[in-house]
Amino acid sequence: MNIIKQIRYFIQRGKRGYSDCDLWGFDCYLSSVISKGLRQLSNQKESYPVFLKSVKQWGKILNKIADGIEAPNKSNEDIDLPFEEWKSNLENSYKKQQKALKLFSKYFNNFWD
């Protein structure tokens, strides 16, 4: 990629939070941003929702969501596997992601520190 495009994408991310090239695989871009943010929130261990028992429990939930959201992206990295194994892994990853998205929705208003 040439330097002019890299600069343009850098400026776009700074202004609007994503760039034109991020839209080529927006699901992958968002899953990366969300999982990294949730992991950082989990590592800060400052607070947790009052209805949970501990910050440790909250960290486990945040990491479970992060793992699930990025699972299909990681499965796509296993491209060297035989097709049937890769396909099975990807299907399992999508199931894991769906469970994570339910948790994401359930705890969405608690993603703060």
The predicted-structure confidence for 7-62, as pLDDT tens digits, reads as follows 999 999 999 999 999 999 999 999 999 999 999 999 987 889 999 999 999 999 99
- 1: confidence class by pLDDT, cuts 50, 70, 90: low
Structure-token pair, residue 26: 């927006």
- Which pLDDT does position 47 carry in this prediction? 87
Half-sphere exposure of residue 12: CA atoms within 13 angstroms, side-chain side? 12
Res 4 pLDDT > 70: yes
Section 52-75 average pLDDT: 93
DSSP labels for 14-68? Answer: HHHSS-GGGGGGHHHHHHHHHHHHHHHHHHH-S---TTSS-HHHHHHHHHHHHHH
Q: What is the pTM of this model?
A: 0.86
